[in-house]
Structure formats: structure tokens, C-alpha cells
Chains A and B, each alone.
Chain A
């Protein structure tokens, strides 16, 4: 042990390893989770949520109130809307609906926020699923007594 400096790196390494082990916040014994004050958290095993079951494609669904955005009566898996391409407009645009048999977008969709009429879909209507949603086969989470508007029954 004439030259203690040789031992230094080894000792430092060992010390660091021990420190890491001690300081490691995730320890197997308590399930891996800890609150800020150090108590163990026993997270219950969560089950994966049931995947939503798409409704079968249908004819247009009746509307329930005035100015309601109609519900989407078909599946929309993989229908992407990007800056470069709007999948919905590939069937619902005025120059496409005849070929695809879809309802054409209404003229209200051509108007900008400032009331200016454009020659096609307005930017504020570009993301269809902000307003139009597909339906899934699921029990309502909360009961309600909603009745369609008088004129629409």
C-alpha cells in the first residue's frame, strides 16, 4: 500500500455504486411506487378499459336539436386529417359526394369566422371531429331525460 492514489478510483467507484443503490427511489419491495413523503403506494391492479365497440355502419342518424352537427354513422378508424390531406373531404366534398354517395358538407362550412364565403371548406371547419363524432355501443354513464326538440320529433 505504498501508493494509495491507486486505490482511490476503485474506492470512489464502490462508494458511488452503494450510493446509487441506497438512493434509488424505486425499490422492488414496496411495489415500486412511493409518495412524496415516502409512504408506499399500493396501486390497485388496473384493468385495461374495455375497447369501445364501434356501432355498425348505418344510414344517417336522426338529429335531435336544431343546429346539431349530425353524428357520424360510420367507422372512422384510420381517417386522418393532416395539413396535406383531409380524409373526410375525400368523400364529403362537393366535388366528391356524387361518386361516394356521402352527404355533401353544408354551405355553412364555407364561411370564415368573419363571415366571408370561401370556395371550399373554411379553416374553422377543417377538423371535422371537433363537432362530428361517431357513436359507440355503450350504456350512457349518466341517465338523462333529454327529449328531442318539438319540431324534430
Chain B
């Protein structure tokens, strides 16, 4: 009995859909479909275009500061020629996180128009805040973007340097993630409070720069 009812409901739905189609006419239905395809295609094209390095550095704020610094790093040029571009590290690959990041980026475009960081001075003044956002995001995702390329389960500790090999094996046991240690891998760092003189006292404090591990917190 229950089953019958469900089927009846289903049939009713299909019938209603057909009725609706007939109502708007087959031509407009096809038109709607085509519009959908075009919209989706266009949407993806824009997404693609804004996910290229060229787009990221099309504004001078990025080109003159972070891009210049990045050119001196291993992710720009290395012996195997595999590069990590801006979106590789800064834009998630999965659909939902990617959409969220893109919507946040619209806010950044707004600030571009407002000129929030349009001089090196303004950029440097904001740099610590910007960097802290990225550290926090990467920490939250267990450095997902790094791990898209680097899989620590396949690290060959026999080939890694002695410092890397020793540190990594201990760290992954303690549940640490790449960004806990590899800050400033692609850009110059903002001011960091290393207790050397008074000059950087306002910089990133130790607990942020070297976040305590779960094991540290317990003691």
C-alpha cells in the first residue's frame, strides 16, 4: 500500500514535469538547457582563468612583492622543473573549499580597488596579518595544498638530509603538519619576534610561529 502511494507520487511528479515542459514549449525548454550549459561553461572558464598564475600577478601588489620573492625559491625553479604556482598553494583543488576561497578572494579584489595594499609600505604593514591568515588556513586543513604534491608517506628518509629525516619522523608521530615548520617557504617572512632586540617585538609571537604540539600542550 505504502509502495503504491510512493509510485503514484512519482508518476505524478513526472507527469507534472511533462505538463510544465509542454506549457513552456519545447523550444524554450531547449533554450533553458543551452543557457544552463553556457552559464556553467562560462562559470568554469572564468574560474579557470582566475586560477592561473598570470591572473594572480596581474595586479602589481602581487607582482612587485610576493612574486619577486617567490622567484628565488625552490618552487619557482628546481632541478626537476616541476613548479608550484600561486594557486597550487593558495587555492584548494576540491570544489567546495575552492568556491569558499574564491568568494573570499572577491573581498581581496574589493580591497585592491580600495587600494588597501597598493604601496610596498602598505603591503608590508599588512603582511603579518595576511601571513597569519594563510598559516591559520593551512594549519586548519593539515597543509592540504602542500600535501597535494608532497606525500609524507612516500618520503625516502634515506635520501633526505639528516636534519630533514630526523625532524620529519619525529614530527609526524607527534601529529605536526608542514606549515608548523615550513613557514616562509615561498616568500619573505613578515616580522617575527625572535627575542633579538626590541625591533620585532610586535612580530609573530613564538606560539604562533612555532605552534605547540598536542604533546607539548599536555604537559
Contacts and interface: CB of A to CB of B under 8 A. Distances in A.
Contacts, number: 59
Interface in B24-74: 72-74
A89 B189 contact: no
Given A57-B163, A74-B161, A84 B191 contact: yes
Given A83-B199, A89-B196, A78 B191 contact: no
B74 A77 contact: yes
Contact of A82 (B162, B167, B188, B197): B188
A135 interface: no
Contacts of B15: none
Interface string A65-80: 0000000001101101
Given A84-B190, A85-B192, A75 B73 contact: no
Interface size band for B: 20 to 34
A113 B149 CA distance: 48
Interface of B: 72-74, 161-163, 166-167, 184, 188-192, 194-197, 199-200, 203, 206, 210
Interface of A: 56-59, 74-75, 77-78, 80, 82-87, 89-90, 93, 95, 99-101, 119-121, 123, 126
Given A82-B188, A121-B196, 17 more contacts: A57-B162, A58-B162, A74-B162, A78-B73, A80-B188, A82-B189, A83-B199, A84-B200, A85-B184, A85-B188, A85-B190, A85-B191, A85-B194, A86-B196, A87-B184, A100-B163, A119-B195
